[in-house]
Amino acid sequence: MSTVSDVGRVTSRTPVLRIRGPVHTRRPDTVAAEEPLEIRLGGTPLAVTMRTPGDDFDLVHGFLATEGVIASAADIAGLRYCNSVDDEGRNTYNVVDVDLAPGVEAPDTALDRNFYTSSSCGVCGKASIDAIRTRTAYDVRADDTRLSLETLLALPDRLRAAQQVFDKTGGLHAAGLFTAAGDLVALREDVGRHNAVDKVVGDAVREGRVPLAGHVLMVSGRSSFELTQKAAMAAVPVLAAVSAPSSLAVELAADVGITLIGFLRGDGCNVYTHPERLELPE
């Protein structure tokens, strides 16, 4: 079986014309890799997502968990890369086939959403909030986690400092899982913000750390409905982002009990929902 993190190309090199004022130079540049990953259940296609190769098994675990297909790693009997080959006969490592454990019911692939995702997609609609409320097995609202403002304001710099591939490409989203004390538990990077979150959640699923009570999920972009959904499904009580949330993300966070924080940068932030978890200085 192939390893999780060593397959595929995280980055690639491409020639560019670099213009800096009056200076024009041609040079190779490093860009983030983006390739499709098809997820199959027992040989049947379930989902396709555009992702940065690497940590694919984490991505699969996280995707299946946040979509409510599995509750824990024990619900997966096995998974493997399939023989998807390129024009030269080399394995692309772009197809993962999953065997669910006995008794775990496969989802209905005829659903309207059909589990198709891309680097920037999401789902929307008030009915989706009701669906998440009924699907999640955890009561996030009951999580009594408290987070100091000082710790919260330090998270963006800690996230950025751990982004190794971003330093090379400038083109990846990041998701970091922190304790309430500000300690980094896991970080993943990907061209898709939802993939980065799935990889972080999948790591927690594989290590038996879900539900993620007492943790903070920090993302490098905006907070969409989909990211808030994934936080709810993994029982993360605090979701923080350096940019803005969407209106539906705010509605969902308020409904399920997530403390949603946006524009977290410098010495400030906006707290949109459940501010009681944030400890402010006297």
Are the C-beta atoms of 264 and 153 separated by less than 8 Å?
A: yes
- Please confirm, yes or no, whether 82 is among the known catalytic residues: no
Are the C-beta atoms of 96 and 238 separated by less than 8 Å?
A: no
Question: What radius of gyration, in Å, describes the C-alpha atoms of the chain?
Answer: 19
Q: Are strands 173-179 and 259-265 parallel, antiparallel or unpaired?
A: unpaired
Q: Which of 82, 121, 124, 269 is catalytic?
A: 121
User: Cα torsion for 236, 162, 122, 207, to the nearest 10°?
Assistant: -50
What is the distance, to the nearest Å, from the Cα of residue 24 to the centroid of all Cα atoms in its chain?
Answer: 38
The CA-CA-CA angle for residues 147, 153, 181, to 5°, reads 35
Dist CA 124 CA 37 (whole Å): 23
- Residues forming the active site: 121
